[in-house]
Structure 1
Amino acid sequence: MPDIVVYPRPATPVAMVTGGNRGIGRGITEELLRHGYAVSLLATRPAPVDLLEELRGLPGGSGKVSYTRGSIDDLDVGRRYLDATLDAFGRVDLLVNNAGVAPSVRADLLDAGPESFDRVLGINLRGPYFLTQVVAREMISQRDRDLAAVGVDTVAGLPPLDRPAATIINISSISADTVSIDRGEYCVSKAGVHMATLLYAARLAPEGIVVYEVRPGVIATDMTAGVKDRYDVLFANGISPMPRWGTADDVGSAVAMLASGAAPYSTGDVIHVDGGMHIPRL
């Protein structure tokens, strides 16, 4: 077996985080900044000047944040977002596919229309699927440049690396395998994210790139604010072994852990951030 190659560590690793300006995405962004990442954000709103100043001044953070406006369901945005990231920071070490939406209106499975299905699947699954394709190609090219800079030629094949050359993390949901019959399109989209994780993990493992899925449960964000009373009752009645709402910081900590490179022989794994809600119980 060939010797393990020590993969060069960038002075400032760079993360792309879709939907990284609010909710779970903001928790991920802040945690990555604290871990020394430069973070390139993609979101649909005009650049939030006050928020960007706040993120750049985050105590203990890297201070390096860029912003691209666009919607992930527009496939032209992926290339533009990647180019903006490279223009700002010169590389990309981590992609976090976080941006997602719930149905605008919850509707019974027998009544829901195709417009909502197409919107949710376009943002939650189709867009991230093709953004990953674009970014993964760049990660492979970057890997070859990084190794060439330390005298390692990959023409004859990639040698074993001591850590991943890059990481991709998909933010899924407990809805990937837990049924909600009044938002079927959301469940289908998140189940698709799981399969996309497995597909890209298998394809990119020989390239030295690892892919993970983080599967949040009930997280306190603006998306779940409208169902707070319902879930307060469910938590009180034992829906989760840990009887509390999750936070965006809980998800951010899981992402930072996976992005650390400390598990170089693991890929395609699902990390639940749900207080144990996924555990079957009698």
Structure 2
Amino acid sequence: MITGARGGLGGAIALALAKRGHDLVLNDLDMSRDLFALAADLRTFGGRVEIMPQDIGQVQQLPGYVAEVVARMGGLDVLVNNAGVSVLSRGDLLDVTPESFDRCIAVNMRAQFFLTQAVARHMLAAPAARRRTIITVTSVAVDQIIGKVLAEYSISKAGLAHMVQHFAARLAPENIDCFEIRPGMMQTEMTSTSREKYDRLIAEGFVPAGRWGSLDEIGKVIATMASGEFSYAVGQAIHIDGGMRFKTF
């Protein structure tokens, strides 16, 4: 199951998993033409693809939603926590509103905690022959990079990173792997309003790789991690950031 599947990153993750032979549940807020088109494309790889909308911010509904996913699909072996929101308005830390702060915490951290909890409970109740995997997408901005205009977003992602470590420690003995992906500069809907600024930073050497990251690079890493072949890499965070976190001289 991939949350936030309608967006560019969600679609890239779904594509990489479909190519590896996974059956998929595409989660987003509601049905949309984009989701139907994505599902049609993914089915050409031979796997089963279901669209199952759910607002993961409605945390009381998540146990029932996960039960519905399991009933429809016959099981759930991989969760990709990809859904997320940005700030309501980019600006000074001193101007952050309670509405923007609460929204980031509610979707980027609270919702993903309780969805992960519901999925983990299912996995523990239904042992499987293969290792299961929970992968959470955070950001390069959780510790090494401090943004001047995205405080509430970065704070919510930092909490999410810590969440991964807690679930990893709890679930590793149960053959359930928990990993974190920290993307750098990716061309997504979320970064579209700051494209010019980021282009300039890249040109100035802020990213050692010298370019934007491509969404398929994240998808490929997630699909590899979902294979169950990294069982001793408990709670690892993988940076897909072109070296953005480095301080170079």
Do structure 1's residue 136 and structure 2's residue 103 form an aligned pair? no
Deviations 1:24-82 (A, max 9, x none): 1111011111111111121113x124642443343762342112222221103322331
Of 74-83 and 246-255, more deviation after overlay is shown by 74-83
Q: What are the residue-to-residue correspondences of 1:43-58 with 2, within 5 Å? A: 43-45=28-30, 47-49=31-33, 51-58=35-42
2:205 to 238, 244, 251: 238
Flag structure 2 segments of 5+ consecutive residues without an equivalent. none
Deviations 1:129-178 (A, max 9, x none): 011111001111221xx35xxxxxxxxxxxxxxxx621100100011112
Mapped to 1, the partners of 2:167 and 2:123 lie a distance apart of 13
Mapped to 2, the partners of 1:267 and 1:280 lie a distance apart of 27
Partner of 2:196: 229
Q: Relative to structure 1, is the Cα distance of residues 51 and 42 closer, same or farther in structure 2, using a 3 angstrom cutoff? A: closer
Partner of 1:114: 98
Contact kept, 8 Å, 1:30 with 1:61, in 2: the verdict is no
Percent pairwise identity: 38
Q: Which has the larger radius of gyration?
A: 1
Which residue identity is paired with 2:89?
A: V
Do structure 1's residue 260 and structure 2's residue 245 form an aligned pair? no
* TM-score scaled by length of structure 1: 0.83
Mapped to 1, the partners of 2:177 and 2:38 lie a distance apart of 31
Q: Which has the higher helix share?
A: 2
Q: What are the residue-to-residue correspondences of 1:75-86 with 2, within 5 Å? A: 75-86=59-70
Which residue identity is paired with 1:272?
A: H
Do structure 1's residue 168 and structure 2's residue 153 form an aligned pair? no
Mapped to 1, the partners of 2:138 and 2:200 lie a distance apart of 24
Contact kept, 8 Å, 1:108 with 1:182, in 2: the verdict is yes
Structure 1 runs (4+) deviating above 3 angstroms are 56-60
Partner of 2:156: 189
Flag structure 1 segments of 5+ consecutive residues without an equivalent. 1-15, 148-163
* TM-score scaled by length of structure 2: 0.94
Contact kept, 8 Å, 1:55 with 1:63, in 2: the verdict is no
Contact kept, 8 Å, 1:44 with 1:70, in 2: the verdict is yes
Contact kept, 8 Å, 1:175 with 1:186, in 2: the verdict is no
Q: Relative to structure 1, is the Cα distance of residues 269 and 50 closer, same or farther in structure 2, using a 3 angstrom cutoff? A: closer
Partner of 2:17: 32
Q: Relative to structure 1, is the Cα distance of residues 108 and 53 closer, same or farther in structure 2, using a 3 angstrom cutoff? A: closer
Contact kept, 8 Å, 2:39 with 2:50, in 1: the verdict is no
Q: Relative to structure 1, is the Cα distance of residues 205 and 58 closer, same or farther in structure 2, using a 3 angstrom cutoff? A: closer
Partner of 1:20: 5
